[in-house]
């Protein structure tokens, strides 16, 4: 039986912090399912399809499956037959919110475990929203975005009203 985990998020866009978590999870699991949340009530800077394409590009060579979901994560977990959710933590503030979510998810699906992985110190301050803001104003995002998608992200942020 293959060991599989689900790494859910908005990934709007994927950052080097996200990629670090994925790479490290790929050493522990046979397959990492990166599940992009499609929230019809919230307009992202990048479309779900663009985010999925960027994740595929950034994760080439890794045992990663990229998909999307809408609705409850626990419903997605049941649909896919997976029972491990992986969440990255940058700071104590992340833990507080993630702890609450893990407890609620446990009530909804006790068979699903949530595992937390601490980000590396050099990625602790990186977030997609900060990347969007820096990029929208023409700032250098190269240290925050996987090199394989940097130009795509940079051009998109300059040409779209994502954060301004």
Quick: pLDDT tens for 2-39. Answer: 799 999 999 999 999 999 999 999 999 999 999 999 98
> 66 has which bridge partners?
34
- H/E stretch holding 42 reads none
- What 3-state class would DSSP assign to 62? coil
Handedness of CA 95, 90, 81, 30 (dihedral sign): negative
Q: Quick one: 14 exposed, middle or buried, by C-beta within 10 A (0-12, 13-18, 19+)?
A: buried
Mean pLDDT of 35-44: 86
Among the listed residues 10, 18, 87, 156, the single catalytic one is 18
pLDDT beyond 80 at 74: yes
Q: Is residue 56 flagged as an active site residue?
A: no
Among the listed residues 10, 51, 87, 128, the single catalytic one is 128
Tell me the pLDDT tens digit for each residue of 123-162. Answer: 999 999 999 999 999 999 999 999 999 999 999 999 987 7
Domain boundaries, the chain: 4-123
Among the listed residues 24, 38, 56, 90, the single catalytic one is 90
Q: Is residue 78 flagged as an active site residue?
A: no
Residue 162 vs residue 45, higher pLDDT = 45
Q: Is residue 128 flagged as an active site residue?
A: yes
pLDDT at 164: 44
Superfamily, domain 4-123: HUPs (3.40.50.620)
Q: Is residue 90 flagged as an active site residue?
A: yes
| Helix and strand totals (H; E) in the chain | 6, 5
pLDDT at 1: 66
pLDDT beyond 90 at 46: yes
């Amino acid at each position: 039986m293959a060991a599989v985990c689900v790494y859910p998020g908005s990934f709007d866009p994927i950052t080097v912090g996200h990629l670090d978590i994925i790479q490290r999870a790929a050493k522990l699991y046979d397959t990492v399912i990166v599940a992009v949340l499609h929230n019809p009530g919230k307009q992202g800077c990048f479309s779900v399809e663009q985010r999925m394409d960027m994740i595929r590009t950034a994760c080439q060579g890794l045992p990663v499956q990229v998909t999307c979901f809408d609705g409850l994560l626990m419903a997605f977990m049941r649909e896919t037959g997976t029972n491990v959710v992986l969440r990255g933590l940058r700071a104590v503030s992340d833990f507080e919110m993630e702890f609450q979510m893990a407890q609620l998810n446990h009530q909804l699906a006790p068979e699903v475990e949530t595992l937390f992985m601490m980000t590396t110190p050099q990625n602790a301050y990186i977030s997609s929203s900060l990347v969007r803001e820096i990029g929208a104003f023409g700032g250098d995002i190269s240290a925050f975005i996987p090199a394989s998608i940097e130009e795509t992200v940079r051009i998109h942020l300059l040409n779209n009203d994502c954060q301004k």
